[in-house]
Amino acid sequence: MVRAATPEAYALMHNGALALSRMEANGVKIDLDYLHRTMSEIQDRIRSMEGRLWESEVGGRWRRRFGDRAAVDSREQLATILFSDMGVGGGKITAGGKLSADVEVLERLDTPFTRNYTKLQKLKKVYGTYLTGLLRETENGILHPFFSLHTVRTYRSSSSNPNLQNIPIRDPDIAAIIRPSFLPHHPDHHILEIDIKAAEVRVAACYHQDPTMLKYIRENYDMHRDMALECFKLDADDFKTLGQKSYLDDIRQQVKALFVFAEFYGSYWLNVAPSLWEACDRYKLNGPDGRPLKDWLLTHGVAELGEVRRGERPRAGTFTNHIMQVEDNFWNRRFPVYRDWKKRWFAAYQKEGGFSTLTGFRIDGILGRNDVINYPVQGSAFHCLLWCLTDITNWLTARNMRSMLVGQIHDSLLASVHTNELAEFVAYVRHVFTAKLPAAWRWIITPMDIDIALAPLGQSWHQKQKMKLTA
């Protein structure tokens, strides 16, 4: 059970719901011409790709094996062809005892057929789920997704009709297709995106108060970069000398998601190591010498992943053993206060059957350990955004401005901003997140900061570029 345990928490939900309803009414403008044109083009691409797949060697085997029953979308049939008939290695068995040809398996195989097959399935999902959903829910050129505050146990928001928060905008291929659909409300407006920098890391630090984490945040050190260097036995000077910083950026991005946040959210080396190992091939990560990152690891004493079963310890010299050591250093030397907070927080939950968040909510009931640790952080991080969203909405209304908030996606807001109001809008938004919010909630002991991305006048969300914010 989740409830607002203080008057301030109730006010946050009440006022936030009103602000979200105004944002729903504003809606997002959709480029219907682009949408119709793109859907037609994707249908043509799907038909063409299906034809080429059936004409390939694997496709021929598939049709001969299943005849009239051959269905390009049947993963079970594909698994039979690849792993049973052709004897391809690398498959896995599902809990039901069947061979699997899911996305993870196909990406790991990385053959011309599986690459094309994966692209085809991605295109089908873009067409059938995302573009079709946008078209179905758009009325008179405006999309009005619903935003709710009562359906998620952590008291984060949810979105429906369509689910704007489910659009995989971090996938560059899908983003390049979907984002051009979103336009500012008027030709003299800009699409603008406001994103809280490392929202959950900053809020988590307000709970556990680990001094090393606080130093990373307050002094603007790059934790993800440090862990990227450690996970892959790298030295930043190698990249500087060879001018290969882009390689380190790519590695950093994967380590941020697959190690740092995975560890924060309760995963551990047995799961983390295979994810990082597979990312080397999936994202074609290179070392500072320009060679594949796995070749770099080989020259630094790591020859293989070294898969182990649960309860076993990895062999020395394997990547899994290395990541186990990195994890030990991560929690026991780098963030021991954070480690101890997680233990105390869960022990208190076991004793009391619930816990209270810094934003005034009470969460009771049967929860897993990871839920107990993550719920307060995720909920409070969203509440920071909701508080600012409400303040900005009230400010825009009081000043009768033409600019408006039009959408909310996880830790970011979308706005359609009149060009004559741009400087004033950006200045006020930054003031709200970095000054007004911490002043209102004294429990915030970390500096809050934002990134703002701006599209050219009248252009789509896809054209956004990060704004340089002066001090």
The per-residue pLDDT for range 388-400, each reduced to its tens digit, is: 999 999 999 999 9
CATH assignment, 2-27+144-201+375-466:
3.30.70.370
Q: Give the C-alpha separation, 143 to 356, whole Å.
A: 36
Q: Could you report the per-residue pLDDT of 103-150, keeping only the tens digit for each?
A: 777 877 778 898 899 999 999 999 999 999 999 999 999 999 999 888
Residue 197: pLDDT band with limits 50, 70, 90: very high
Q: Could you report the per-residue pLDDT of 290-325, keeping only the tens digit for each?
A: 889 999 999 999 999 998 888 889 999 999 999 999
- Kindly tell me the burial class for residue 435, based on how many C-beta atoms sit within 10 Å of its own C-beta (0-12, 13-18, 19 or more): exposed
Integer CA distances (angstroms), 61 to 57, 136, 224, 289, 299, in order: 6, 38, 46, 41, 41
Report field, pTM of the whole predicted structure over 0.75: yes
How much is the pLDDT for 96? 62
- Kindly tell me the burial class for residue 259, based on how many C-beta atoms sit within 10 Å of its own C-beta (0-12, 13-18, 19 or more): buried
Domains of the chain, residue spans: 2-27+144-201+375-466, 34-117, 211-334
Look at residue 288 and tell me whether its pLDDT is greater than 80. yes
State the average pLDDT for the chain: 92
C-beta separation of 112 from 49 below 8 A: no
Residue 245: pLDDT band with limits 50, 70, 90: low
* DSSP letter string, 195-255: EETTHHHHHHHHHH--HHHHHHHHTT--HHHHHHHHHTT--HHHHHHHT-HHHHHHHHHHH
Look at residue 263 and tell me whether its pLDDT is greater than 90. yes
How much is the pLDDT for 95? 58
How much is the pLDDT for 97? 62
- Kindly tell me the burial class for residue 449, based on how many C-beta atoms sit within 10 Å of its own C-beta (0-12, 13-18, 19 or more): middle
Q: Taking the CB of residue 283, how many other CB atoms lie within 10 A of it?
A: 14
